């Protein structure tokens, strides 16, 4: 069966997705394959896209495309490194109640993530990769984690805030929505999130080899896209006769949930396009309006840090 036909049937996608992929995604995939040949370790691809933008589908497309070209590849979601429900409850009790809700920086096991990435980079297989069950809002037990049994040529790490940088303290003073003004009036939650970005996540950005971004037209699209994700999850659980749907959100819950992401998402839409190697600008229906490529496929975060260090040494 043709690679594209198989992929469309697997993901229940229209034929237009294949046309779009051939035009926009395949050239980038080919470039990554060329770059991977030049190094003696796995090539790390960072993929950013807000909730519902299609990044998980794109990540799987890339993996299957690389596999079809004879390369081993894996896509890992930032979501799978969420803290367990009990760990988030402890964080909520010790720092701020909003941390009981998964999603923002600070609600992941960053040490576990780093351990997995290091093992993959050093090809120390087998590697156990955690999985998160959104249907019950908790991590799968370790026996149900994924296992990487062979060295990978390409590793894709995707996440909604992957690539976000911390903001200056003064930018955190004003609330951006009702969630912040009503539930975080003193700014404890958003300042903690900001500090986690700076100290825990930004160092890992330096380990990525290139950055890809699915850029939403605005934050306004996130509600509808995120609601579609919940409806898709519910249909899947129904088809599987799974009665445990405690983690599936209603429309009202989705409306509140996306407020947790608004500050960082809006910041990303403004700043990440300047640093990503490839930016696919999306329309409200998720079709691609334009494809912008920097062309150098260099980690802009590492480059910026090296310049900063050199400037510091000369001052």
Instruction: State residue 296's pLDDT score.
Output: 63
Instruction: Flag whether 106 is in a domain.
Output: yes
* Dihedral sign, Cα of residue 240, residue 243, residue 244, residue 247: positive
- What are the structure tokens assigned to 306, written together? 């090296």
Q: What is the DSSP letter of 108?
A: B
Instruction: State residue 301's pLDDT score.
Output: 56
SS3 content of the chain, % helix, strand, coil (to 5): 50, 15, 35
Which residue positions in the chain have pLDDT lower than 70?
1, 243-247, 294-315
Cβ–Cβ < 8 Å for 88, 107: yes
Instruction: State residue 306's pLDDT score.
Output: 43
Instruction: Flag whether 241 is in a domain.
Output: no
Instruction: State residue 253's pLDDT score.
Output: 85
Instruction: State residue 315's pLDDT score.
Output: 39
Q: How far apart are CA 50 and CA 222, in angstroms?
A: 7
Q: Is the pTM of this model over 0.85?
A: yes
Instruction: State residue 309's pLDDT score.
Output: 40
Range of the domain at 55: 3-7+17-228+258-314
Instruction: Flag whether 239 is in a domain.
Output: no
Instruction: Flag whether 237 is in a domain.
Output: no
Q: How far apart are CA 91 and CA 86, in angstroms?
A: 9
Instruction: State residue 244's pLDDT score.
Output: 61
Instruction: Flag whether 89 is in a domain.
Output: yes
Cβ–Cβ < 8 Å for 81, 109: yes
Q: How far apart are CA 272 and CA 277, in angstroms?
A: 10
Instruction: Flag whether 122 is in a domain.
Output: yes
16 burial level (CB within 10 Å; 0-12, 13-18, 19+)? exposed
Instruction: Flag whether 247 is in a domain.
Output: no
The predicted-structure confidence for 102-160, as pLDDT tens digits, reads as follows: 999 999 999 999 999 999 999 999 999 999 998 889 999 999 999 999 999 999 999 99
Instruction: State residue 264's pLDDT score.
Output: 97
Output the domain CATH number for residue 286.
Answer: 3.40.50.300
Instruction: State residue 246's pLDDT score.
Output: 58
The predicted-structure confidence for 291-300, as pLDDT tens digits, reads as follows: 887 656 666 5
Q: How far apart are CA 92 and CA 90, in angstroms?
A: 5
Instruction: Flag whether 145 is in a domain.
Output: yes
Instruction: State residue 311's pLDDT score.
Output: 39
Among 271, 89, 99, 86, CA closest to 192:
99
> What's the domain count of the chain?
1
What Rg do the C-alpha atoms of the chain give, in angstroms? 19
138: Cβ contacts below 8 Å, ≥ 6 apart: 84, 85, 132, 247
Q: How far apart are CA 117 and CA 129, in angstroms?
A: 10
Q: How far apart are CA 122 and CA 212, in angstroms?
A: 23
């Amino acid at each position: 069966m043709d690679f594209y036909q198989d992929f469309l049937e697997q993901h229940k996608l229209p034929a237009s997705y294949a046309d779009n992929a051939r035009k926009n995604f395949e050239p980038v995939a080919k470039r990554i394959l060329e770059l991977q040949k030049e190094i003696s370790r796995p090539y790390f691809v960072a993929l950013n896209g807000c909730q519902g933008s299609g990044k998980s589908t794109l990540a799987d497309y890339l993996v299957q495309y690389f596999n079809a070209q004879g390369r081993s590849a894996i896509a890992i979601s930032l979501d799978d490194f969420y803290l367990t429900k009990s760990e988030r409850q402890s964080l909520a009790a010790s720092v701020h109640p909003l941390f009981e809700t998964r999603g923002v920086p600070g609600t992941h096991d960053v040490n576990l993530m780093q351990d997995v990435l290091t093992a993959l980079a050093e090809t120390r297989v087998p590697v156990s990769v955690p999985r998160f069950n959104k249907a019950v809002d908790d991590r799968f037990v370790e026996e149900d984690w994924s296992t990487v049994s062979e060295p990978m040529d390409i590793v894709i790490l995707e996440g909604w805030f992957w690539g976000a940088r911390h903001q200056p303290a003064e930018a955190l003073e004003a609330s951006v929505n009702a969630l912040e003004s009503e539930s975080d009036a003193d700014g404890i939650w958003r300042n903690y999130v900001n500090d986690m970005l700076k100290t825990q996540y930004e160092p890992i950005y330096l380990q990525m080899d290139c950055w890809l971004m699915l850029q939403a037209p605005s934050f306004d699209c996130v509600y509808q896209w995120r609601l579609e994700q919940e409806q898709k999850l519910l249909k899947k659980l129904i088809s599987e006769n799974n009665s445990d749907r405690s983690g599936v959100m209603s429309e009202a819950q989705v409306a509140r949930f996306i407020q947790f992401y608004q500050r960082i998402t809006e910041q990303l839409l403004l700043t990440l396009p300047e640093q990503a190697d490839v930016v696919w600008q999306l329309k409200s229906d998720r079709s691609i309006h334009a494809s912008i490529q920097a062309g150098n496929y260099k980690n802009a975060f590492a480059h910026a840090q090296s310049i900063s260090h050199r400037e510091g040494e000369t001052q």
